[in-house]
A and B are shown apart, each in its own frame.
Chain A
Amino acid sequence: MTETQPPTHEVGAQDDIELRLGANLVHLPVIRSVAASIAMRADFDLDAIADLRLAVDEACSTLITRAEPGSTMVCRFTIDDAELRFSGAVVSSAGEAPSTASFGWRVLTTLADSASSWIEPGAHNGQRNWVHIELAKRKPAFT
């Protein structure tokens, strides 16, 4: 009942990596590891990898605390020539986008080159919405 439609953005290309896991804080270390590993393969330097790990952790922490108990979180990593993009979404009964006044959001927005969060109303006129957070970090420039 909690596993409904995935977020509505198009399913990505061959290189996209999607994680679906219980919206539970115990999974944060796994998500951080995946984020770090993807950033490493995209040639980010050690500091940038650490920053991305932190930003993704903040995004997922925020999402998980808003998720319906027992629901699934969907995370997608997209890499192109210019940047690494993370997008995460959970089903939530919350009607408002996550607070942008928290330490977590401050950390996230400072670390990422762009970040946003928004609410997508549920498709089946129920009370549940999708809460989205998306962030992007530019790939290191060639020197």
Chain B
Amino acid sequence: MSDLLDVRTESAGDTPTIVVAAVGEVDLGTVDTLRAELHAAAGRAVPPGPLVADLSDVSFFGSAGLTVLMSAHEECAARDIAFRVVAPSRTVLRPLQLTGLDEVLELTASREEALATASASRS
């Protein structure tokens, strides 16, 4: 709906891995794009995943984004798919920490780390 947020889904190689990468500002006005993309990806993902939400290039992240991440987390958990969030910046980490969701979601500092099979679930 706007140029503020661009969300793209990529499949990495022939693994069951799906990466949803967001670029821009996630607020209540733009979050539907991210929700739709993550929901579609979660539906397409094959256990054990992972489904990765790469938020490296997100320059604003409000609580609307938290709700969407939690939905994706629950959707994936129900289907035994690992859901990982790439959150290297304070912009994204801050709201996650303030709400304690950094303890619930599996966060990584880079996409490489999120895709590495060795990075086992912490939750």
B residues apposed to A, CB below 8 Å: 2, 4, 25, 27-29, 60, 62-64, 66-67, 90-91, 94-95, 98-99
- The answer to whether B63 and A32 have CB atoms under 8 Å apart is no
Task: Choose one: B27, B60, B90; the contact of A25 (CB below 8 Å).
Answer: B27
Contact yes or no, A47 B99, CB < 8 A: no
State whether B98 touches A29 (Cβ < 8 A).
no
Q: How far is the CB of B14 from chain A (nearest CB, A)?
A: 37
Which chain B residue lies CB-closest to A64?
A: B28
* Contact of A4 with B by CB under 8 A: no
Complex CA gap A53/B91 in Å reads 11
Known contacts A25-B28, A50-B94; decide if A107 and B60 are in contact (CB<8 Å): no
| Contact residues in A for B66 (Cβ distance below 8 Å) | 103, 107
Q: Besides A26-B29, A57-B60, A61-B62, 18 other CB < 8 A contacts?
A: A25-B27, A29-B25, A29-B27, A50-B91, A50-B94, A54-B62, A54-B95, A57-B27, A58-B63, A61-B28, A61-B63, A65-B28, A102-B63, A104-B62, A104-B64, A106-B63, A107-B99, A111-B98
